[in-house]
Amino acid sequence: MGVRLMVVDDHRLLAEALASALKLRGHRVLAAAAPAAGAADLVVSRAPEVCLLGTAAPAEPGAFDPVVKIRRERPQIAVLVLGPVPSPRGIAAAFAAGACGYVRHDERIEGVERAIMKARAGEVAVAPGLLQSAFDALLHPEVEPDDEGRRLLHLLTRREVEVLARVAEGEDTRLIAAGMGIAPSTARTHVQRVLMKLGVGSRLEAAALAARTGLLDHALPLLGPRHTGAD
């Protein structure tokens, strides 16, 4: 028995071509071209068993808002996202929004049909490799530079942050010591502790890491006017 389907994509030719191919395989299909903003309302009003919902940019913020709305208003509709090869974050976002599967635009019609049948049966419909990458992204999220900068900042004392700031400005041990009112040997010890805590092997690497992660930008409230003497 065929599945009652909707194929919704803002590219009419793609939607109609896929709908025609699925009709030839015995499914009851309605093709529709609609921008993302109106896609959810269209699907909710027709209430198919399965919806193939196209997206051109799965990694973009809000790409799966229509999925959220469909699942909220018609939870019985199984939503399959139809899109390009996704990043792990893209496919993870699709599942987080409530999609039950992800089908690549270049999938063969047999693969699309298998995904549809799985979706109707309440199963996850996605290639194993894509599913694994999504789980990996959820379990081991990438650290954003902003987050990394804050994490590194917490490893350093206030004095070490000032030392790092001076290192980033190109000051050598003598200048660091003079500017902070400490002995050169003490300045050298502070620099070595900073390098060790940041996990780098040179002052140049420390400066580059601080610049890449925005560490010193986060440290501005701590730095203020340059300090002298001990903390």
Domains of the chain: 4-139 (3.40.50.2300), 145-223 (1.10.10.10)
Mean pLDDT calculated for residue range 199-211:
88
User: Which residues make beta-bridge pairs with 103?
Assistant: 82
Q: Could you tell me the two tokens for 221?
A: 């409230």
pLDDT of residue 133: 67
- Give the H or E element holding residue 9: strand 4-9
pLDDT at 149: 84
Q: How confident is the model at residue 138, as a pLDDT?
A: 61
Tell me the CA distances in angstroms from 231 to 191, 220, 227, 228, one per residue in order: 16, 17, 8, 8
pLDDT by residue (tens digit) across 21-53?
A: 999 999 999 877 766 668 889 899 999 999 999
* Cα–Cα distance for residue pair 88/101, rounded to 1 Å: 13
The residues, ordered by sequence, that sit 6+ positions from 25 with a Cβ below 8 Å of its Cβ are: 2, 109, 113
pLDDT digits (tens, 9 = 90+) for 81-124: 988 877 777 777 888 889 999 988 888 999 999 999 999 999 98
| pLDDT tens-digit readout, 2-28 | 899 999 988 888 888 899 999 999 999
Of the candidates 54, 51, 110, the residue with the CA atom closest to the CA atom of residue 83: 54
**pTM flag (> 0.85):** no
> Which residues, in sequence order, are CB contacts of 194 under 8 Å at separation 6+?
156, 160, 163, 164, 167, 206
Average pLDDT, the chain: 84
The CA-atom distances, in angstroms, between 40 and each of 46, 218, 230 are 10, 41, 62
Residues 6+ apart with CB under 8 A from 103: 52, 80, 81, 82, 83, 111, 112, 115, 125, 126
